[in-house]
Amino acid sequence: MATVALVTEGRAKRRTPKHHRLTLALPYLIPAVVLYGWFLLYPMLDAVRLSFFEWSGFRIQEPVWVGFDNYVRLFTQDAVFWTAFGNSVVWVILSLILPTGIALILALGLNRKMVGRNLMRAVFYIPAVFASITVAAMWRWIYNPTLGFVNQFLEAVGLGAWTQSWLGDPQFALGSIFIANIWQAVGFSMVLFLAGLQTVPVELIEAAKLDGANAWQRFRAVTVPALRPTTIVVIILTIINSLKVFDLVVGMTGGGPAQSTQVLALWSYTQSFTNHQFGMGGAVATVLLIVTLALVIPYMAWSMKGEDR
Amino acid sequence: MHTKRILGAVGLAATAVTVLAGCSGAGGGSDSDELVIWMPTQEDTQGTAINALIDEFEKQNDGVTIKLEQRSVDEHKTALRQVAGTDAGPDIYWYWEGSGLGGELVDAGMSLDLTDYYDEYGWEDRFTAASMSGITQYGGFNGVPWSQQGEGIYYNKKLFDQAGITTPPTTYDELAEAAQKLKDAGITPIEFGGTVNWDVMRLLDSLIETECGADVADELNMGDGDWGAEECVTAAFSELKKWGDEYFNEGYLGINNDDAAQLFFSGEAAMSLEGTWYNAQVVDNGMNPDDIGIVVFPTGTGRLYGFGEAFYINAASGKADLAAQFLDFGTSTEGQEIVGSAWAALSVNKDVAVDDSNPLNGIWADLFGQADGGYTNNDQNFSTAETTEYWRIQNSVLTGAIDPADAGAEFQRFRDSQ
């Protein structure tokens, strides 16, 4: 018993400095925690709570508990939900392949010593600093069926038969928005990859060269493993940014034509703040949250396991 | 020292919480001489006009201040829902009069019945009959009319001549014939911007009125009519599809109304289905108003398409008398002359002369005079969720994703599920 008491006392003594540091830090953390809780955590949890209610947004009207009815309606009766879901999934998959791949290729290219390297880095990065709604406005003009650059260019080079209503035809609209997304998203991932490439040990590259490894072998066996932490960050950010895509779609098509470019984040907003069906909006937001966590958490867990190894 | 730090930090946190708590309140100034007005964000000319009106009222009423708060359309609608029935709202709010919008707030008890003020100020004698219909439609007197918008077909006389159209269409068949002649002459018959949905909706609403007649259309739009059971609904959607395929500007679903309107202003499109606010826009965009004609959409019912906008006094406001005083000033001859035609070509005050500096204003005066009642845009008749679905179906018919024969039934299924 005395031994236990001594051990406890010893542990308590060892813990004191940490505990003390926490006490000191706590007051400084409180404002941030309050803001985080108020503006992020509470709305998120409230959206989940609302998904089990029917509520039209009138403060005087008590939300009515409907259990899983909103989810049932969403999955079985909402004519737009599955389109939005499918579009979000396609957006994530394409984002992981195209902008990410292009960003890696650009980063590898611009990591070499060449004339105008910094200028080109800046040029490729600039779209990333534009607000998405600005990008949307620019590309809306580029795709304008009569005055836009794309159709006028096609006419000028004798490909008038290829001109389209790029944002007005459900067959092309989502793809057309995605091209604008590639233009905007590539720069950010490129910068991350460029930063990651600075961490690739030059000695290892040189050693691989001496061992007779060709460029592809050096890339696969040295560069790719060294880029692993950067790749994890790029992939997680890409998944998150893809699932929450909103501004570009709002600015270019508003989800149309006929809801064909609708995505989950925008449909959640539309259900809540345009249709005033806050329960349905909360249900869409909850599905989006679950999909995001389902994609990000396993990937993070898997990649961290790799780190440990 | 540590205690001081902790106290300082806790104080900071407390301040943050206090600020946050302060942010959650809205509207309703505590000052007894302050009126709070909520409106959607206004265009430049309208913003200038309302501010001039407020300045003049404040000048004439010493000590009174008016605080104007403007939000985007969606934000405005949402904010009003959040404050309905509470004391956090404005004293006066601006809203559309249709049953799906203004009517919803009347049902929620947010609008003060102004019968006493109508008696006190003699407002019934002040306003035009057309503008009063939206005020009395829910029983009593809800709101004070602010603008009455008529919508019809603006046409380019030169392009009509070029296509061999000698008289403006007075029947739907003549309108369709005119569109075909324009197309044959290589002219875009009519322009629409599909991304905003409500632009093309004007044609669909008018086609429903044309194909179904006034009574059935009213039952469908505002009553319990069955969209899946009426043959005329299929006919209306079929005509819509035909117009979209044959007569609209190329790529209309990919551009908004402002971009589409450029085709009319530049003389590329011969017709535009717009409202009284368009009179100023065509002039601002360099067109000679003498080259433009206006006809009502020839539905055959004699009713004029359009909608009204009103200022309502919040039932929870403790300053209804002052609010009524402001609205009396705003809709008086003096007030209406200050705002001019910033909102509509014609004033809701029947004593205010038509501004003949733009000849198109006089045309609207005649069209209102000839109209046998009116029918309203469906995005005002329907609930907001129904409107979103109506637009989806409208656009799905246009893109070919939904057959016109299935459109009515699909919309009715949605209505039944609500």
**How confident is the model over A159-167, as a mean pLDDT?**
92
Report strand pairing: B188-191 vs A64-65.
unpaired
Is the CB of residue B77 less than 8 Å from the CB of residue B100?
no
How far is B75 from chain A, CA to nearest CA, in Å?
8
Single out the residue of B85, B78, B87 nearest to residue B27, CA to CA: B87
Chain A residues with CB under 8 Å of B192 CB are none
Dump pLDDT digits (tens) for B232-289: 999 999 999 999 999 999 889 988 899 899 999 999 999 999 999 999 889 989 999 9
pLDDT at A5 over 60: no
Give the mean pLDDT of B52-79.
93
Counting Cβ atoms within 10 Å, is residue B268 exposed (0-12), middle (13-18) or buried (19+)? middle
The predicted pLDDT at position A20 comes to 80
Cβ contact, residue pair B85, A276, below 8 Å? no
Q: Which amino acid, one-letter code, is at B139?
A: G
Q: What is the pLDDT of residues A51-62, one digit of tens each?
A: 999 998 887 788
What is the pLDDT confidence band of residue A128, given thresholds at 50, 70 and 90?
very high
- Residue burial A41-78, b: 16+ Cβ < 10 Å; e: rest: eeeeeebeebbbbbbbbbeeeebeebeebbbebbeeeb
Distance between CA atoms of residues B385 and B367, nearest Å = 33
Higher-pLDDT residue of A302, A72: A72
Instruction: Enumerate residues 6+ apart whose C-beta is below 8 A from B335.
Output: B53, B56, B57, B329
Cβ–Cβ contact A58 with B under 8 A: yes
Q: Do B146 and B343 touch, CB atoms closer than 8 A?
A: yes
Three-class SS state of B255: coil
pLDDT of residue B74: 81
> Please, which residues 147-186 of chain A have a Cβ atom closer than 8 Å to chain B?
164-170, 173
Q: Is B78 on the interface with A (CB under 8 A)?
A: yes
Chain B nearest-CA residue for A27: B9
Q: What is the pLDDT of residue A106?
A: 95
Report yes or no: A31 at the B interface, CB cutoff 8 Å: yes
From chain A, pick out residues whose CB is under 8 angstroms from the CB of B12: 27, 30-31
Q: In the prediction, which pLDDT does B18 show?
A: 36
DSSP letter at B58 equals H
Has residue B405 got a pLDDT over 90? yes
- pLDDT tens digits for range B335-351: 999 998 888 889 999 99
CB interface of A with B, residues 124-153, below 8 Å: 140, 143-146
Asked if B327 and B313 touch (Cβ cutoff 8 Å), the reply is yes
Closest CA to B155 of B180, B173, B182, B185: B182
Nearest to A243 by CA among A288, A306, A282: A288
B77 touches chain A (CB under 8 A): yes
**Closest alpha carbon within chain A to B74:** A274
Tokens of B379: 């995005």
User: Which residues numbered 327-386 in B keep a CB inside 8 Å of some CB on A?
Assistant: 383-385
CB contact under 8 A, B254 and A257: yes
Position A21 scores a pLDDT of: 81
Interface test with B, best of A40, A80, A133, A146 (most B CBs within 10 A): A146
CB atoms within 10 A of CB B225: 20
SS (H, E, C) chain A: CHHHHHHHHHHHHHHHHHHHHHHHHHHHHHHHHHHHHHHHHHHHHHHHHHCCEECCCCCCCCCEECCCHHHHHHHHCCCCHHHHHHHHHHHHHHHHHHHHHHHHHHHHHHCCCCCCHHHHHHHHHHHHHCCHHHHHHHHHHHCCCCCCHHHHHHHHCCCHHHCCCCCCCHHHHHHHHHHHHHHHHHHHHHHHHHHHHCCCCHHHHHHHHHCCCCHHHHHHHHHHHHCHHHHHHHHHHHHHHHHCCCHHHHHHCCCCCCCCCCCHHHHHHHHHHHCCCHHHHHHHHHHHHHHHHHHHHHHHHHHHHHHHC
- Evaluate if residue B166 carries a pLDDT over 70: yes
Q: Using a CB–CB cutoff of 8 Å, tell me whether B74 touches chain A.
A: yes
Taking residues B135-157, what's their average pLDDT?
95
pLDDT level of residue A308 (50, 70, 90 thresholds): low
d(CA B338, CA B341): 9
Assess B9–A contact: CB distance below 8 Å, yes or no. yes
At B116 the pLDDT is 97
Token readout for A64 is 């009515």
Q: What percent of chain B has pLDDT over 70?
A: 93
Cβ-defined contact of A34 to B13 (cutoff 8 Å) = yes
pLDDT of residue B21: 37
More confident residue, B284 or B181: B181
Does A275 contact B77 at a Cβ distance shorter than 8 Å?
A: no
Share of chain A above pLDDT 90, in %: 69
A121: closest CA of chain B, how far (Å): 33
Give the closest of A34, A144, A164 to B255, CB-based: A144
Tracing tokens 């061999």 back to the chain, one arrives at B164
Closest-CA residue of chain A to B7: A27
CA-based nearest distance B395→chain A, Å: 5
CB spacing of A146 vs B251 below 8 angstroms = yes
Whether A256 and chain B come into contact, CB under 8 Å, resolves to yes
What's residue A16's pLDDT? Answer: 60
A112-137 average pLDDT score: 91
Confidence grade of residue B389 (pLDDT, cut at 50, 70, 90): very high
Look at strands B34-40 and B65-71 and give their pairing.
parallel
A-to-B residue pairs, Cβ atoms closer than 8 angstroms: 140
Q: In the predicted model, what is the mean pLDDT of residues B294-305?
A: 97
- Are A145 and B74 an interchain contact pair (Cβ–Cβ within 8 Å)? no
Out of B86, B195, B396, the one facing A59 most closely (by C-beta) is B86
Lowest mean pLDDT among B60-69, B72-81, B154-163, B378-387: B72-81
Average pLDDT of span A83-97? 96
Rounded-to-integer distance, Cα B142 and Cα B123, Å: 12
For residue A36, is pLDDT > 60?
yes
In degrees and rounded to multiples of 5, residue A167 shows phi and psi of: -100, -5
A34 shares contact with chain B (CB less than 8 Å) = yes
Please compute the mean of the pLDDT values over residues B168-192 and round it to a whole number.
97
Subunit contact B253:A24, Cβ cutoff 8 A: no
Chain A CB within 8 Å of residue B250 CB: yes
B335 by Cβ neighbours in 10 Å (0-12 / 13-18 / 19+) ranks as buried
Of A167, A274, A277, the CB nearest to B74: A274
Please give the pLDDT value at position A15: 53
A77 to B417: CB separation less than 8 angstroms, yes or no: yes
Helix axes A117-129, A170-197, angle to 10 degrees: 130
Residue type, B354: V
Radius of gyration, alpha carbons of chain B: 24
CB A187 within 8 A of CB A128: yes
A257 vs B contacts (CB less than 8 Å): 194-195, 253-254, 395, 398-399
* Contact call for B2 and A258, based on CB within 8 A: no
- Asked if B74's CB is within 8 angstroms of A273's CB, the reply is yes
From chain B residues 11-40, the ones with a CB under 8 A of any chain A CB are: 12-13, 16-17, 20
The answer to whether B388 faces chain A, any CB pair under 8 Å, is yes
Q: Which residue from A minimizes the CA distance to B386?
A: A275
A63 close to B (CB below 8 A): no
What distance in Å separates residue B74's CA from the closest CA in chain A? 6
pLDDT value at A170 more than 90: yes
Q: Do A167 and B13 touch (CB under 8 A)?
A: no
Compute the average pLDDT of residues A99-107: 95
- Average pLDDT value for residue range B288-299: 97
Please give the residue of chain A at the shortest CA–CA distance from B8. Answer: A27
Q: Would you call A257 and B398 a contact, using CB atoms and an 8 Å cutoff? A: yes
Mean pLDDT of all residues in chain A?
A: 89
pLDDT of residue B84: 87
**Which of B17, B195, B385 lies at the smallest CB-CB distance from A277?**
B385
Q: Does residue B11 have a pLDDT over 50?
A: no
* Helix or strand run (H / E) with residue B87: none
